[in-house]
Amino acid sequence: MPAAPLKIGIIGAAGWLGSSFASALLDSRITNLENLTLSYRTARPEILPKANWTTDNQALVDDSDIIIVSVRPADLSALRIRIQEKLIISVLAGPNLQTLKTHFGTNKMIRAMPNAGAEIGRSYTPWIATSDIHEADRTAVRQILQTFGIEDEVQDETLMDYLGGLTGTGPALPALLRAAMIKDAIASGVPGDIAKRAVNQVLIGAGYLTEQHNDDAEATIATFMEYRGVTAAALKTLRKAGFDQLVARGLGAARDKSREMGNDLAR
Give the span between the Cα atoms of 226 and 197, in whole angstroms: 28
| 103 pLDDT above the threshold of 60 | yes
Instruction: Tell me if residue 66 falls in helix, strand or coil.
Output: strand
Amino acid identity at 16: W
The residues, ordered by sequence, that sit 6+ positions from 224 with a Cβ below 8 Å of its Cβ are 231, 232, 235
- Angle between helix axes 230-240 and 243-266 (nearest 10 degrees) is 50
**Domains of the chain, start order:** 8-157 (3.40.50.720), 172-261 (1.10.3730.10)
Alpha helices (H) in 114-191, listed in sequence order: 135-146, 158-168, 172-187
**Does position 67 have pLDDT exceeding 60, yes or no?**
yes
| Mean pLDDT of the residues in the chain | 92
Model confidence at 3, pLDDT cuts 50, 70, 90, reads low
